[in-house]
Amino acid sequence: MAFKCAVVGAAGGIGQPLSLLLKNDPLVKELSVFDVIPLAAGVAADLSHINTGAKVTSHHGFDGADIRAALTGCDVVVIPAGVPRKPGMTRDDLFKINAGIIKGIAEAVADACPKAMVCVISNPVNSTVPIFAGVLKAKGCFDEKRLFGVSTLDIVRANTFVAELKGLNVTDVNVPVIGGHSGVTIVPLLSRTTPACEFTQEEAEKLTHRIQNAGTEVVEAKAGAGSATLSMAFAGARFANSVMKAMNGEDITECAYVYSSIQDGVSFFSTEISLGKEGISKINPIGKVSDFEQKNIDIATDALKANIAAGENFLSA
Ligand SMILES: NC(=O)C1=CN([C@@H]2O[C@H](COP(=O)(O)OP(=O)(O)OC[C@H]3O[C@@H](n4cnc5c(N)ncnc54)[C@H](O)[C@@H]3O)[C@@H](O)[C@H]2O)C=CC1
Ligand SMILES: O=C([O-])CC(=O)C(=O)O
């Protein structure tokens, strides 16, 4: 079975290559391209000339009716809408603008496609996902199995950096990355790398630091012109494809930042999740970790408490 998939923020740096990758995904039967800016129509016209199966439709505009029309009938909604970082900013500095953007999109999802699988890319993910959940709860349609904060780029990066260091074929490597998606909340579980790898303490510390700061590496390299777009499009398309494969009955495991009671003290956390026809079928426990990783999990949990509270307070203000 193939699905109707929307990209919200489709004219942006991530949105355009993400839409391209989804247009090329055989599991997408219709690609609904949405952005507030009129460029969405041009992106859709461009994509529509590609001879793959997905039919392309497009909507744009600031009127709530436009986004609701784009979302109607969608099975999967992927959201890279909102402002990216510039050098010197943290992801939390984006909260002021992106919190409001995410709230509006969540209201539209609740009205137009409350049963869709929702994949939130917009930063700060640690706070935008709690905001999304809060809006759906208020609208009476929150299904914790269908809301995902996309942290896949952290896994993609960890796999790449470990393969480079250990001389492995990168497509064989899998490093679970748990916690959240910013700075110290990003916790790679190098001890659980497959295929099994040994790391010295120095290697583990250096790799962890690089994975936690990889977003900043790109922000600085782009020198004011934005943050990761191409690697994020790749990661977002991989995650959406995993969700759709699971909707078709395949057993799939991915890490994602979700509503979870796995970690004491926080209501959202990323661990490995099993995906099925109805979204999350199981949230896997953290499992065995090294002392270094446990210390990082504790630091991440403290930081996440504040990020989640910021999201919840935004809605109650
Ligand atoms: N989760 C992750 O791993 C990553 C997240 N990001 C985040 O993704 C977001 C987007 O980044 P870029 O594509 O580089 O930014 P961009 O500025 O190039 O594109 C954002 C797009 O969102 C659109 N937009 C703004 N408000 C909207 C609304 N209410 N509805 C629909 N579209 C709207 C804009 O018109 C623009 O086309 C940023 O918040 C960034 O921090 C970026 C990289 C990785
Ligand atoms: O660093 C940023 O601002 C964008 C992002 O989330 C990433 O690249 O991981």
183: domain CATH number? 3.90.110.10
At residue 142, the pLDDT reads 98
Domain edge (last residue) among 102, 118, 149: 149
Domain edge (last residue) among 149, 175, 195: 149
At residue 90, the pLDDT reads 95
Q: Is 281 exposed, middle or buried (0-12, 13-18, 19+ CB in 10 A)?
A: middle
Integer angstrom CA distances of residue 254 from 111, 241, 303: 28, 11, 23
Question: For the chain, how far is it from start to end, CA to CA, in angstroms?
Answer: 43
Extract the annotated binding site for NAD(+): 9-15, 35, 98, 121-123, 232
At residue 317, the pLDDT reads 86
Ligand 1 center to residue 12 CA distance, Å? 6
Is residue 232 one of the residues assigned to a domain?
A: yes
At residue 123, the pLDDT reads 98
Angle subtended by helix axes 291-316 and 95-112, to nearest 10 = 70
Same domain as 259, residue 129 = no
Same domain as 113, residue 66 = yes
At residue 271, the pLDDT reads 97
Residue 142's closest CA among 155, 125, 129, 127? Answer: 129
Does the CB atom of residue 15 touch ligand 1 within 6 A? yes
Q: How far apart are CA 239 and CA 185, in angstroms?
A: 20
Ligand 1 center to residue 181 CA distance, Å? 15
Q: Which residues of the chain have pLDDT under 50?
A: none
Which CATH number goes with the domain that contains 43?
Answer: 3.40.50.720
pLDDT tens, 238-294? 999 999 999 999 999 999 999 999 999 999 999 999 999 999 999 999 999 999 999
Is residue 315 one of the residues assigned to a domain?
A: no
Same domain as 302, residue 195 = yes
Domain edge (last residue) among 120, 149, 178: 149
At residue 144, the pLDDT reads 98
Count of domains for the chain: 2
Q: How far apart are CA 188 and CA 179, in angstroms?
A: 9
Is residue 265 one of the residues assigned to a domain?
A: yes
Does the CB atom of residue 61 touch ligand 1 within 6 A? no
At residue 10, the pLDDT reads 99
Query: Whole domain around residue 118: which residue ranges?
Result: 3-149
Is residue 223 one of the residues assigned to a domain?
A: yes
